[in-house]
Each structure stands twice: as structure tokens, then as C-alpha cells.
Amino acid sequence: MSMEVPQGDAGLLAAIRSGNAAAYVGLYERHASAARALARALVHDPAEAEDVVAETFTRMLDLIRRDGGPREAFRVHLLTALRRTVHERSRGGRGGEAEIELFDPGVPFVDPALTGLERSLVARSFLSLSERWQLVLWHVEVEEAGFAEVAPMLGAPADSVEAVSYQALEALRQACLRTHLAETPAEDCRSVLAKMGAYVRGGLAKRESKLVERHVEGCTDCRVVFMELADVSQGMRVIVGPLIAGPALGVYLMALNRGGLAGGFLGTVIGWGREPERRGRFAASAGAVVAFATAVALVLMMVADPVIRGPVTDPTPIPAPIVAQPDPLPEAPPPVPEPRRSAVAIPPPERNTRPARGPAPVPRLVASINALGALVRSEPGMVAVRLRNAGSGQSAEIVARIGLPPGVMLPPAARRGRASAATAPVPMAGAAGGGRPAGTVDGWSCRAVKVGARCFRGPLPPGRSTAVFLRVMVSPRAAEGAPLSVRVSGAGAKVTATSASGVQDAGAPARFATDGRVVTSAIGNTLLAPEGPPAHRRPGGAGRQAGDGPQAPRLLDQDRDPSTGSSSAARLALPARSRIVWAGLYWSGGAPAAGPVKFRVPGKEGYRLVRASRTAEGRLPSGRVYQAFAEVTRLVSRLRGRYWVADVPMGKGPARHAGWSLVVIAADPRRPYSRTVVVDTVTVVDRGSPARIPLDGLTPAAAPARMDLVAWGGAAGVRGDRVKLGRGRALRPVSGGRDPGDAFDGSATGALGTGATLGVDVDGFRALLGGRPVLKVSARRGSVIFGVAVVNVQARS
């Protein structure tokens, strides 16, 4: 006895091209709920959303009849075409035959807020895959559909989908490697890249694995490839998901999982355009919809085969798919032949062009104001004001009046004269962040007023964005919750905005922020080793115990410099084309924090003394600990090389940890436009006290982000340390053991010569950041100090 396999999307699409219009009913019933979910996330009016769905399906049918559009990955193309429909309608487009071809140009349609996403390694690799793999990866990895749900679209038995999904992931890994190799990497990288796929799968011998690890440790480009391959599933969710569904991906997935968006095919397409005000605007498209619905109704009445009520079948032979160059795959054979390659049918973004005729250009300013990270009582903080000219004409001179709630004020130096704008110029960014007077940044100039600041800037051209960041002080008695406000003039009318949050009782204040094309890096190392023979024995050096207890770990002293008692190094590896914008040095140990640390940069023989500009303390079961900070931007001049830190102060008693981390932000014109913030705190995390770190002021919608976190006191093998965003699942570190259930396992990016970094964690994570993200750090066993978060999220330029 055999079970009939439903006809897959490829078969239905082939049937439509052969003239079987009834096959389109099957596609519609299969994908309409997904189209509605995305339409309702993009359009607030439910009736308008139904119009968008019907118009998109109609245009897709016309495209397929012309032998264009998808061959198999129908939903990937459908969602992108729907976004294009919403974009055209928002511009007052009338649709029509001339615009049909815009739905199948073969290049991504990227939302301006996600510009640069299509250039990422995972995105380019996904677009290079055959449509069969695109279909499987989208439904399984992004939408997280069950294998039984994917089977009908694939036209395969449900028990074979798991094997196909494994093959699709492997095909994506191979495509990532091919894409990177096509960029002509250095000769020493090529041999490593050839082994990278097997290394990620755990298929290399121990000796070869160590060779790959040693190379990846010092090569930025290969480390990027490794991180992409290590979790291609995460890359699908945070890169490819927003590329196809846009910034509304999170809302779309929630609606899709809830369901309840289904509707009848004929009722939807005939009902579209019923309202008189819409008939005038979309007359041509409505006519096409009615004609299409009538044609399908005739087919349904004429076809006698009762199977038409279930999966659509067509008695005419369906031509076999055209096979192109297949992807290299594992030994397991796919259940169906590999079809030809096809780029995703996504139209290009619309450029800002001034019409030859029509109304005069009019500026339209869009403003926002937010605290960055969190405004916490008794702590300094930062406020971001961002402006965008969404109109068609240049604005007048801009005046921004920034209102601060009671208890939040500019620093004393700013109140005596010019406001302290926490900014530093970033080339080609159009906005800025961190440490210089506001008058030097993108034309902004600020001065203090009684309840805030008044900032000035020259005219803002259409399509341009700008930002100014202000340092503020928060009083111990500041009221919680009172919002920030900004009133902007410069577009003929005043524009106002208020923040979503105000002063909070806990969180991590911002240390630095920037908007621009930047790359971030956080490296670090420990100054302690487990009890045992030290790396270098010499009087007063590494052989000394760290503390008085017999089980205390030993100090590491790796620099062979007789003037240091403890030392360690970490390698920084930034792109050669970048330029240092900001650098901050953090160090931590047992309290009290007495005295400076020693800091040595690549190419220099001696150490420089660095004194903390800010120190904060917390308490672990083993005693008091501290975290100290100093800005070292002027000292960090090399993009690549070994950075050394020595003699971190440690209090008396057994030392649980002593270590350091260097955070560097550099301008890189090849990176996508992004918003970056560095927040720091000293928050004890244990079984009964998880840490909740708001990350306000970064993005109004879901967007892919890279986070580097610094924590002190963690230990390998003590499972239960987890990092989450909101209510999502635990994030997987991209370094160390890469175990989401053991996030702080004693591993630090860039650390040299120490193996496990006892009590020091500097780990990277990738995630999809929502509109008001909250970082949650928990520990089920033991305790850990959460110290620093460096967040880089892609944004509208």
C-alpha cells in the first residue's frame, strides 16, 4: 500500500506554465496565510492588506505565465514581491503591465534600514543556491516549520525532509566557502578554507584541527568564514530572514505561528477592489484580478476530476525541470532531482530621484530621541537624537531643542559653555559617536539651556540621516520613567518626539556610541593560570601564588619582562582598510583596585601606565571584585598585532579572577551602515539574581546584530550560564565551546598562549535585535560578573 505524495510547488508552477490555471489555486491555498501575515505586518489597514495580497498573487500569476518568476521556491519570491507591492503602493504607483517585470530582476530588494545585508557572505551564498535548497532552508531554518509542513511544498514524503534539510545546510556551507574563495584570498588562507567545512563538522584529525585553529586565531577574514559556517542556521535567521521578509520579519514569524490568517481564494481575489475609492486607484489591476478569478471559476466547473479539491493534479505531462550545475553534496542522495539555479526574484531598491514634473520638493523630517543602553541613577549616561529627511527637498537650518527630565542634566563643564556631545567623526557615516565637541561632528553645535540642550545644524538634504549624542549625568534622586523629548524645526513645521523609556533602576549605561560604517572587536586574556607549574619560573614572577590560599591559582607572566609580575597578550585583527575611532580598556580583579595597569601596544618595547577613569565594585561569594575602565583611543594605533596588559591590581586573599579586555571600534567603508553602542556595568549574576540589561536606542525594528560580551569569574564545565534576548532561546557563542548552555566557559577572543582563560570571558554572539531589546544573563550554578556589552546592529543609512 503506498501513500500519495502531494504535488510540490515545482510541479504546480510547471503546470501553470503549461496552461493549467487551476494549479494556481493550490499555490494560493498553500501560501496565502503567509502572504497575509507579512501584509498585515507592513500595512495597518486590514482591508488594504487584503488588497496587497490579492494584487501580489495576480502579478505573480502574470509573471509565471510569461515564463518568469520562481521555478520552485515560491514563498521566497512571493514575500519579496509582496514587499515590492507595498513599496509601489506607498509611492502612488498604479501597477500595470509595465511594472510586472520589476518583480523578477534577479537582485535583492533591500529595505533601506537593512542596506548592506545583501553583501554579507551568508546572503550571497544563499542567493547562489538552487531554488530547491532555498525552499528547504527558508521553511525549515527561518520559519522553523515542521518536516510534515514542508513535505507538500517539496513534493516529497515527510520522512525524507530531514535528510534534505541536512543536505541543504551542507550546500549552504559549501556555497559560503566557494563565495569566499572566489574573492581570491591569500595563499595561506586557501589551504585552510579547503579544510574549513570538515573542521566545522568535526571531521578533521586533531593535528589538522590545531593548524586550522591557529590560522583562524590570527586571520580576521577566515575567522569571519568560520563564524558563518559554525552556525549557518543562525545566519539564515538573522541575515537571510530580514533580507527576504524585511524589518518586519519578527512580526511576520509571530503571526505565521499563530495562524488564523487563512481565507478563501475566490472570496479574496474577487473582493479585492470592491471599495469605490480603491477601484479608481487600481482599476487596471482589479480588472486583471476579476478576469483571473473568472478564468479559474470556469476551470473548476469544467474539470471533472474530484482530486481538484485536494492537491491539484493536471492530466497533461509536466515538463521536467531544467538541471544546472549542481552543488557539491554529501553522499546521501536527494529524493528528487536538483533543479536549475535561480536568483531570488527581488526587485531593486528605489533610488531617490527628483521628478521632472509635479509638486515642488518638500522636506519631511523624522526625529527620534532615546537613552542609549539605560539611564541609571547616580551614573553617567548618553542620549541619542537622530534625524532623517524622508521628504523630497532639502530642509532649512535645523534647530533641535532637547528636553531632559528632572534629575538628568548635562555635565558641569557643558553647563558652563558648550554641551558635551559624546561623538567622534566617522568617515562616510553621515552621523557620529564618542568623545569630541559637538561642533566637530556632522555640522552639529550644541549649548546647554535650563532644562536640556539646544543643538544647531545646517540644512539636511533629502534621503540623508544625522545624529548627535549627548553625555548626561543622572542624579541619585532622579524620578524613574519620565521620558526624554526633542522638538525639531527646519522643515516648515515643528517635529516632536519622545523616548520610550526614561531613568531606570538598573541596567548598563552607555560608554560610547556611533552611527556609521564601522567594525567592532573585543579581545582579552587572563592573568591567572590553574594551580600547577607556571609558564616561566623566575623570582617574583609567574611562579608566585595569586593570594594566600594553598589552592590559589598562579599568576601568568608571559612577556619575559623583569619589570612585570603578571602579564598576558591578545591579538587584535581588524581589516587593514579600517581606521581606529575609539578604544576602551577594561580590567578586573579582587578589590580594592589600587593603582594603574601597564599597557603595551604592537611595535613598542615598553609599557605605558594607564589609570582608570572609572571604577565600580561588586561582591561575589569569594569577596569584593572591581571593574575599571580607561579610554585608550590615542594609544591604540595598530589594527593588527599583539596587545599586552600587565600587573592588574588584585586585593589580598584568594584571587578568583584577574584579567582584561580591549574594546576597539574602527571605521570601515565596506561595512553596512550600523548603530553601535558600548555599555558597561558591574552586575553580579547568580542563581537567584539574573541580570537584565536594556539595550535602548538602537533600532525601531528587528535587525541583525553582532554582540561582544565581557564577563568575569566564569569557569569551564560549570554549565548553566545563558545569554538571551528577551524571551528568545539561549544564544550560541561564536567562540570558545560555542555551547548556548555554557556561555561563560573561560574563553576569550584573541587570547594568546593561555588555553582556557581562567575567570575571563570575551565572547561574540549573533542575534536578531527587536525594537526594545533586553539582554538577559543568567547562571544556574556559581556566580559571574557581567561587565561589558558591545552591540553593533544594522540600520537605515
pLDDT band at 113 (very low <50, low <70, confident <90, very high): low
- For position 378, what pLDDT does the model report? 87
Res 76: pLDDT:
93
- Please say if the pLDDT value at position 285 is more than 60: no
pLDDT of residue 737: 63
Q: Of 163-177, 424-438, 493-507, which range is least confident?
A: 424-438
- Mean pLDDT for the chain? 76
DSSP 708-727: EEEEES--TT----EEEETT
Q: Which of 197, 182, 198, 167 is nearest to 338 (CA)?
A: 167
Contacts 24+ apart (CB under 8 A), 534-540: 535/753, 536/560, 538/562, 540/565
Compute the distance between CA of residue 184 and CA of residue 778 in angstroms, rounded to an integer: 43
pLDDT value for 678: 96
Q: In this predicted structure, what is the pLDDT of residue 358?
A: 56
Q: What pLDDT, on a 0 to 100 scale, did the predictor assign at position 340?
A: 36
| pLDDT at residue 432 tops 60 | no
Average pLDDT, stretch 305-323?
Answer: 29
Q: Is 545 exposed, middle or buried (0-12, 13-18, 19+ CB in 10 A)?
A: middle
Instruction: Please provide the size of the chain in residues.
Output: 797
Q: Do the Cβ atoms of 250 and 770 come closer than 8 Å?
A: yes
Residue of higher predicted confidence among 668 and 544: 668
Residue 435 has pLDDT above 50, yes or no: no
List the grid coordinates of 431: 552621523
Answer yes or no: is pLDDT of 460 > 60.
Answer: yes
Percent of the chain topping pLDDT 70: 73
Going by DSSP bridges, is the β-strand pair 465-474/408-409 parallel, antiparallel, or unpaired?
antiparallel
Give pLDDT tens digits for 707-754.
999 999 876 566 778 898 877 778 888 866 667 777 888 889 999 986
Residue 606 has pLDDT above 70, yes or no: yes
Res. 33 pLDDT band, cuts 50 70 90: very high
**Residue 629 reports pLDDT greater than 60:** yes
| Cβ atoms < 10 Å from Cβ of 171 | 28
Distances (CA, A) of 711 to 15, 21, 520, 785: 58, 60, 17, 6
Q: Which three cell numbers stand for residue 257?
A: 505561528
Confidence grade of residue 45 (pLDDT, cut at 50, 70, 90): confident
Q: Is the pLDDT of residue 350 over 60?
A: no
> According to the model, what pLDDT value does residue 257 have?
72
pLDDT, tens digit (0-9, with 9 covering 90-100), for 748-777: 999 998 678 888 999 999 887 776 788 999
What does the pLDDT read at residue 717? 62
Q: What pLDDT was estimated at residue 115?
A: 59
Dist. CA 486–CA 484, nearest whole Å = 7
Ranking 135-139, 271-275, 666-670 by mean pLDDT, the lowest is 271-275
- Asked if the model's pLDDT at residue 583 lies above 90, the reply is yes
Task: Please report, rounded to a whole number, the percentage of residues in the chain having pLDDT higher than 90.
Answer: 31
Higher pLDDT: 43 or 216? It is 43
pLDDT higher than threshold 60 for residue 324:
no
- Per-residue pLDDT for 263 more than 80? no
Torsion angle defined by CA atoms of residues 190, 193, 198 and 200, in that order, rounded to the nearest 10 degrees: 160
- Residue with the three cell numbers 475609492: 277
Return the pLDDT at 610: 96
Omega of the bond prior to 672 within 30 degrees of 0, cis?
no
Q: pTM for the whole thing?
A: 0.56
Label residue 344 by pLDDT band (50, 70, 90). Answer: very low
Q: 439-448, 552-561, 670-679: lowest mean pLDDT where? A: 439-448
